[in-house]
């Protein structure tokens, strides 16, 4: 039994085995952002890779530069398919003996299966350690300090690099980034030690926050996540993930050709944007809800221009959402969201229409960084 779900006010997230909230989603956001709360992420997966060749081996297959990663240093990397589409997002920290890969729910089995197929004769050992270890998240502050310095001690700490552009990366977003000041860590504990962490909450030493609080803060910071934002067509450029998860000059890896072509010569077909949602109706749309140009949501013949990936009620900004839009949608276009997901109403009736304003994350002209001269036609 998850002891965090036994804490006062805990309401379970459907099908995940962790808390969506503890009765006060908005105050939980404030407490989490100010460093006074923790989030139970024990439903997510953890993969450990040991052996002398672990970093060079992982480096050869994924998008980030991992060779030379120092013990305790954190980064993130992506496993792409041969066409450059995202298969797995990994939060990476090496402790000098093994590399910890923190992944979203449902990803560990597939990742371990793939890595074991790629072992060949290299000195590496891959293990899904999700049954024995779990992650607890905290923003920098009192709660993180207590987890870092307390007893029992965490086995590893992954520090989210999202606040800055890592070496070898590039940012598409213009101007100041919404993640400036973003300071988040995930602490890996033995599951045997989780009762002690839950005990700190029960004693009032720190507070617990649910997944709803974390989602709202991630959406506001434009922070992509595989479990909510990535679909079968997703490439890193669409999320501005080249900031932290892609090294553009590291050399070959699976999917690297697509990454280079889109960045140098093309444009991502879709672009991530933050939508500010009209809250006058008092309800939020669901993830997967379709996005239309202004006036199109009530027109059965209109074609959608995007879809919502994650939706949140932020304690300061109200209703907000991340959305993947077609690149051709003007950055200043007024938008509307049809409240339900496609197919949610089998009668075909128009669901509630919600006005939405864009806050551009990935601009429409992202990519095409190389000016390739056009050859003049030869005249006879």
282 touches 276 (CB < 8 A):
no
User: For 6-22, what is each residue's pLDDT tens digit?
Assistant: 999 999 999 999 999 99
How far, rounded to the nearest angstrom, does the alpha carbon of residue 69 sit from its chain's CA centroid?
Answer: 22
* Residue 18, CA distances (Å) to 10, 109, 163, 189 in order: 9, 19, 27, 16
Mean pLDDT computed over 284-313 = 91
Query: In the CATH scheme, what is the code of domain 270-360?
Result: 2.40.30.110
Residue 343 is predicted with a pLDDT of 46
As a whole number of angstroms, the distance between CA 331 and CA 363 comes to 7
For residue 348, pLDDT beyond 50: no
Mean pLDDT computed over 118-129 = 91
The mean-pLDDT minimum among 75-79, 292-296, 367-371 falls in 367-371
Name the pLDDT band for 236 (thresholds 50, 70, 90): very high
User: For 186-217, what is each residue's pLDDT tens digit?
Assistant: 999 999 999 999 999 999 999 999 999 999 99
Q: Shortest CA distance to 352 belongs to which of 290, 304, 265?
A: 290
Residue 338 is predicted with a pLDDT of 86
Q: Shortest CA distance to 180 belongs to which of 163, 167, 165?
A: 163
Q: What is the pTM of this model?
A: 0.93
Residue 211: cis peptide before it, omega within 30 degrees of 0? no
Residue 120 is predicted with a pLDDT of 83
For residue 340, pLDDT beyond 90: no
As a whole number of angstroms, the distance between CA 326 and CA 376 comes to 32
CATH 2.40.30.10 given to domain 3-229:
no
82 touches 235 (CB < 8 A):
no
- CA gyration radius for the chain? 22
Residue 282 is predicted with a pLDDT of 73
| Alpha helices by DSSP H, the chain | 25-33, 54-61, 108-117, 142-149, 194-202, 211-220, 226-229, 256-264
Name the pLDDT band for 76 (thresholds 50, 70, 90): very high
For residue 378, pLDDT beyond 70: no
Helix (H/G/I), strand (E/B), else coil: 125? strand
Residue 272 is predicted with a pLDDT of 98
Helix axes 211-220, 25-33, angle to 10 degrees: 60
* Residue 243, CA distances (Å) to 88, 184, 262, 368 in order: 17, 16, 15, 16
For residue 347, pLDDT beyond 50: no
Name the pLDDT band for 323 (thresholds 50, 70, 90): very high
As a whole number of angstroms, the distance between CA 127 and CA 100 comes to 10
User: For 27-57, what is each residue's pLDDT tens digit?
Assistant: 999 999 999 999 999 999 999 999 999 999 9
Residue 377 is predicted with a pLDDT of 55
Give, for 91, the enclosing helix (H) or strand (E). strand 86-94
Full DSSP string of 176-209 = S-TTTT--EEEEEEEGGGHHHHHHHHHTTSSEEE
Residues 343, 313, 134, CA angle at the centre, nearest 5°? 90
How many CA atoms are closer than 13 Å to the CA of 185, on its beta-carbon side?
23
Residue 297 is predicted with a pLDDT of 75
Q: Shortest CA distance to 306 belongs to which of 333, 324, 330, 329?
A: 324
| Alpha helices by DSSP H, 105-255 | 108-117, 142-149, 194-202, 211-220, 226-229
36 touches 142 (CB < 8 A):
yes
As a whole number of angstroms, the distance between CA 225 and CA 217 comes to 12
Domain residue spans of the chain: 3-229, 270-360
Tokens 């999917």 identify what position? 255
282 touches 185 (CB < 8 A):
no
């Amino acid at each position: 039994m998850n002891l965090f779900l036994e804490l006062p006010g805990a309401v379970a997230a459907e099908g995940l085995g962790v808390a969506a909230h503890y009765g006060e989603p908005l105050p939980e956001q404030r407490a989490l952002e100010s460093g006074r709360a923790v989030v139970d992420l024990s439903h997510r997966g953890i993969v450990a890779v040991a052996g002398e060749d672990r970093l060079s081996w992982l480096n050869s297959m994924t998008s980030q530069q991992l060779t030379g990663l120092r013990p305790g240093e954190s980064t993130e990397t992506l496993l792409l398919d041969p066409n450059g589409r995202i298969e797995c997002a990994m939060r990476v920290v090496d402790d000098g003996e093994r590399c910890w890969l923190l992944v979203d729910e449902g990803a560990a089995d597939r990742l371990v299966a793939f890595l074991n197929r790629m072992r060949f004769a290299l000195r590496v050992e891959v293990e899904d350690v999700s049954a024995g270890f779990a992650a607890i998240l905290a923003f920098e502050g009192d709660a993180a300090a207590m987890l870092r310095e307390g007893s029992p001690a965490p086995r590893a700490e992954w520090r989210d690099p999202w606040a800055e552009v890592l070496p070898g990366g590039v940012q598409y977003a213009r101007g100041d980034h919404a993640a400036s000041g973003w300071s988040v860590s995930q602490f890996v504990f033995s599951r045997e030690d989780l009762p002690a962490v839950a005990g700190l909450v029960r004693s009032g030493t720190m507070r617990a926050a649910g997944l709803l609080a974390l989602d709202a803060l991630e959406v506001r910071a434009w922070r992509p996540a595989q479990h909510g934002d990535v679909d079968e067509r997703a490439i890193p450029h669409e999320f501005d993930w080249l900031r932290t998860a892609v090294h553009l000059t590291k050399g070959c890896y699976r999917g690297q050709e697509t990454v280079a072509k889109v960045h140098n010569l093309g444009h991502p077909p879709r672009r991530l944007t933050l939508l500010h949602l009209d809250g006058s109706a008092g309800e939020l749309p669901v993830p997967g809800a379709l996005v239309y140009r202004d006036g199109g949501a009530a027109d059965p013949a209109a074609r959608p221009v995007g879809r919502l990936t994650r939706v949140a009620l932020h304690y300061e900004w109200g209703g907000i959402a991340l959305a993947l839009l077609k690149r051709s949608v003007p950055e200043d276009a007024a938008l509307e969201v049809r409240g339900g997901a496609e197919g949610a109403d089998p009668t075909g009736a128009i669901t509630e229409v919600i006005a939405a304003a864009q806050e551009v994350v990935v601009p429409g002209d992202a990519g095409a960084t190389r000016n390739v001269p056009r050859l003049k036609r030869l005249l006879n």
